[in-house]
């Protein structure tokens, strides 16, 4: 039965991907706000299915990351292109100066992109006027991606470590997925990736990779 669950999730994800493409085509023909909202919802549900499938595979012991060297500046450019324009009332500040100096880094680009896009989209939903996306070299080795906003911040139960805590605005699935992907990035010396959360004038989300 478990294999059927995984197959059903995979099929639903593919169907939503096709729906997203059709909605994008419809928006090109008629730029209606309702179509934009529908495409955004389809994208969020598709992302949740990807996260759910990864969590399922981790539970079954079959999750494998495709870790390879990637140029950080190219990776960031891909994320910004896929993210698209921010809402008119949100200013997105970026700090990618360290990306060129870091050069290439080993990580699973597909999964890490999912984590960061989810964080960015959450920030855009909750921000009142500002979102910040930054990349930095981690002291002692590693790379840090930070997404921050000026919204209400994380609920206390999330900051306390209840990754799966459901709130009025979140199922907690994205944070579980982020922590899973971070922890699966590890070095031979035993250093593992991690997620750091804080409230500092809004929510601050950091993904640190070894």
pLDDT in tens, 14-43: 777 788 777 777 777 877 777 777 777 777
What pLDDT was estimated at residue 1? 42
Q: What is the pTM of this model?
A: 0.82
Higher pLDDT, 51 or 89: 89
Span 105-127, average pLDDT: 94
Most confident stretch, 8-22, 23-37, 54-68, 126-140 = 126-140
Higher pLDDT, 68 or 57: 68
Q: Give the per-residue SS3 of the chain.
A: CHHHHHHHHHHHHHHHHHHHHHHHHHHHHCCCHHHHHHHHHHHHHHHHHHHHHHHHHHHHCCCCCCCEEEEHHHHHHHHHHHHCCCCCCCEEEEECHHHHHHCEEEECHHHHHHHHHHHHHHHHHHCCCEEEEEEEECCCCCEEEEEEECCCCCCHHHHCCCCCCCCCCCCCHHHHHHHHHHHCCECCCCCECEEEEEECCCEEEEEEEC
């Amino acid at each position: 039965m478990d294999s059927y669950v995984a197959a059903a999730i995979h099929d639903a994800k593919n169907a939503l991907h096709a729906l997203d493409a059709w909605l994008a085509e419809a928006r090109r023909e008629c730029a209606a706000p309702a179509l934009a909202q529908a495409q955004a919802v389809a994208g969020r549900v598709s992302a949740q299915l990807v996260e759910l499938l990864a969590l399922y595979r981790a539970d079954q012991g079959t999750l494998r990351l495709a870790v390879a060297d990637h140029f950080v500046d190219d990776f960031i450019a891909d994320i910004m292109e896929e993210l698209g324009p921010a809402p008119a009332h949100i200013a997105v500040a970026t700090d990618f100066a360290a990306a060129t100096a870091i050069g290439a880094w080993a990580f699973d680009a597909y999964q890490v992109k999912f984590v960061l896009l989810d964080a960015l989209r959450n920030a855009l939903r909750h921000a009142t006027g500002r979102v910040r996306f930054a990349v930095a070299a981690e002291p002692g080795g590693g790379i840090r991606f930070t997404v921050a906003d000026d919204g209400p911040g994380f609920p206390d139960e999330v900051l306390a470590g209840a990754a799966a805590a459901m709130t009025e605005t979140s199922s907690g699935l994205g944070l579980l997925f982020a922590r899973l992907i971070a922890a699966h990035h590890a070095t031979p010396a035993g250093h593992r990736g991690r997620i750091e959360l804080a409230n500092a004038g809004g929510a601050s989300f950091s993904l640190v990779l070894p």
